[in-house]
Amino acid sequence: MQASAPQVAVGVGVLVVHQGLVLLGKRRGSHGAGTWSAPGGRLEFSESLEACAGRELFEETGLTASVFELGPYTNDVFADEARHFLTVYVVARGIQGQPRNMEPDKCEGWAWFPWDHFPEPLFLPLLNLRRIGWRPAGS
C-alpha cells in the first residue's frame, strides 16, 4: 500500500484595508509562529472565497466588512513543515468595529500598518505577495 502524498490546501488571506492602512497580527502557536500575517485561514468545503474571508475576519478580529474584492494568489510551500498552501487573497473594505484579539492562542494581537512599512518577519504567504509586487488600491 502506498503512502498518500501530502495535499495542497487552499488558504484565504484577508487584506483588511482601512484609512490607507492594512491590519496585521503576530502569529503564535502554529506554523509561522513569530511572523506577521493578515487574518485568514483554510477554505472550507463548498464555501465561497468571500464567505471564508468574512468568517475568518470575524472569528479572528471581531470585525465585519461590507465589501470583499478578490485579489491575487500566492503558491506557498513550507518545506520544513511539509505543508503547501495556495493562498487566495481577498481585500476587505467598509470595515465596522475595532480589531480585537479573538484567538489569543493563535495571535499576539492586531495592529495597523502602512503597506510600505510592514513589520518583520512576515508570514511566508504575505512575504510572497510582497515579492510579486501587488498592492491593494488605496493602501
In a domain, 85, yes or no: yes
Q: Does some domain include residue 43?
A: yes
What pLDDT score does 118 carry?
97
Is 2 a member of any domain?
no
Backbone angles phi, psi at 66, to 5 degrees: -95, -15
Give yes or no for a contact between 95 and 18, defined as CB atoms under 8 angstroms apart. yes
In this prediction, residue 29 carries a pLDDT of 85
Q: pTM for this one?
A: 0.94
pLDDT score at 1: 56
Contact of 10 with 66, CB cutoff 8 Å: no
- pLDDT tens-place string over residues 92-124: 999 999 999 999 999 999 999 999 999 999 999
In the block, residue with C-alpha cell 493563535: 106
pLDDT for 139 equals 84
Domain count within the chain:
1
Using alpha carbons only, give the angle 57, 16, 30 rounded to the nearest 5 degrees: 55
pLDDT tens track for 12-59: 999 999 999 999 999 998 789 999 999 999 999 999 999 999 999 999
Long-range contacts of residues 75-79, Cβ cutoff 8 Å, at least 24 apart: 75/128, 76/11, 76/124, 76/125, 76/128, 78/31, 78/32, 78/124
pLDDT at 5 over 80: no
Residues forming beta bridges with residue 68, ordered by sequence position: 92
Q: What range defines the domain where residue 107 resides?
A: 8-131
Q: Is residue 12 part of a domain?
A: yes
Grid coordinates representing 21 are 492602512
> What are the φ and ψ backbone dihedral angles of 107, each rounded to 5 degrees?
-145, 135
